């Protein structure tokens, strides 16, 4: 099980070393900002509601991919560690 501090350390290493991770993280942040703007509205049109659902799905997909990269990085570190 990964602790919060382990995840934070791996995330920082990935930010420094992985272009893919940085792109995913930036996209995740951008999607979050878009969702915040939509949530500020009191009433959404059907098109905006559909857009919001799509943004949620895309944001979750980015988060899942980042988690996958974190797990892969952790697994790689564990295999490379001396026994």
Token pair 């792109």 is found at: 23
pLDDT in 10s for each residue of the chain, 83 residues: 778 998 999 999 999 999 999 999 999 999 999 999 999 998 999 999 999 999 999 999 999 999 999 999 999 988 887 76
* Distance between CA atoms of residues 75 and 25, nearest Å: 20
What's the predicted TM-score (pTM) here?
0.87
**What is the C-alpha separation between 27 and 45, in angstroms, rounded?**
24
Q: How many whole angstroms separate alpha carbon 22 and alpha carbon 12?
A: 10
């Amino acid at each position: 099980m990964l602790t919060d501090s382990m995840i934070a350390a791996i995330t920082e290493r990935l930010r420094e070393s992985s272009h893919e991770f940085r792109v995913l993280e930036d996209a995740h942040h951008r999607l979050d900002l878009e969702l915040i703007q939509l949530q500020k509205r009191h009433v959404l049109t059907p098109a905006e509601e559909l857009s919001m659902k799509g943004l949620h799905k895309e944001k979750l997909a980015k988060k899942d991919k980042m988690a996958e990269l974190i797990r892969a990085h952790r697994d790689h570190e564990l295999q490379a560690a001396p026994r």
